Every structure is written in structure tokens, then in C-alpha cells.
Amino acid sequence: MLKLDDRDLKILAILQREGRISKAALAERIALSPTPCWERLKRLENAGIIEGYGARIALGSLGPMSVIFMQAELESHKSEDFERFEAAVRDIPEIVECWAIGGGLDYLLKVATRDVDSYQRLVDRILNMQIGLCRYYTYIVTKPVKVSPFPPIPASLDP
């Protein structure tokens, strides 16, 4: 695991909110010259800590969009059954996030579709794929209360 210092954490915090910041401006903000700043940035990218850069799109401005959470339970709990389900989920673009969870159910999925009818057609497709889904529960988002694409970065690595 890569050892991070306060400057690395500052770089991450700045990039998380300002991904398009220039390298010169980033270097200035963390009080480094551009070359060492760039070297730190490359080290963070190469270590996989920075996974990528992208734009946050206001999907609602492109047309109607429904966000739906689905709890999923599989018929069988063999490792190959989990692998088959997870591989299928990765290939379904409407499933934007998926977590394996404990506590009685197997997965929590976040689904983005045009509307509830589109969601139901997606569920029917998933059931027809025969990937082990035996039971699911649907929760339709009526309004977002807090959505943060920025998980907190610890201020310090000290315990």
C-alpha cells in the first residue's frame, strides 16, 4: 500500500472537486513546484488511487430519469453463482452501482432507467438471463436528499 502524506491527501481532495484544474494551479495550491507535483500525481495514478477523471452529468437535464434501488437475493450461495451474477451485472449499463452486502440479502443495486416501466423490463430481462436471482425488492427514489460523489478524504493518516 502506498504511503500518503498531507500533500498527497491535499492533491486528492482538490482533484476530487476540481478534476480539470491545471497542473500548475494544483502545484501552487499545494505549495510545490510543478515537476514534483506532477510526479506525485503520476505516482497516485500508477498506484490506482486515482482511478480516472470524468464529468458529472446532470442526467435529469437530458430527459426523465428514475433512480431505483434493488435488493437482490440469489438462489444459491456457491462462489461460482456469485461470480456469474456479478459478471452479468457488470454488463448491464442501467445498473450503475452494485454492492455485495451482508445481513440477509446478497446485493444492493442502484439502477438508472428512463421510468418505472423501463425498470420492470430490465428486471424481466435479468430474470430471463437465469443468473441466479430468486428474489428482489424494489425501492423507487422519490427525491434525492444528499448525493455526494466525493467520499471524505482523511485529513491525516495518523491514527
Task: Give the tens place of pLDDT for each residue, 34-67.
Answer: 999 999 999 999 999 999 988 888 877 888 899 9
pLDDT for 159 equals: 43
**Full set of structural domains in the chain with CATH:** 7-46 (1.10.10.10), 59-140 (3.30.70.920)
Asked if the model's pLDDT at residue 11 lies above 80, the reply is yes
pLDDT for 17 equals: 87
Amino acid at 39: E
Phi-psi region of 147 (alpha: psi -120 to 50; beta: other; left: phi over 0): beta
Asked if the model's pLDDT at residue 158 lies above 80, the reply is no
Over range 75-104, report the average pLDDT: 95
Whether 9 and 15 have beta carbons less than 8 Å apart is answered as: no
pLDDT for 155 equals: 62
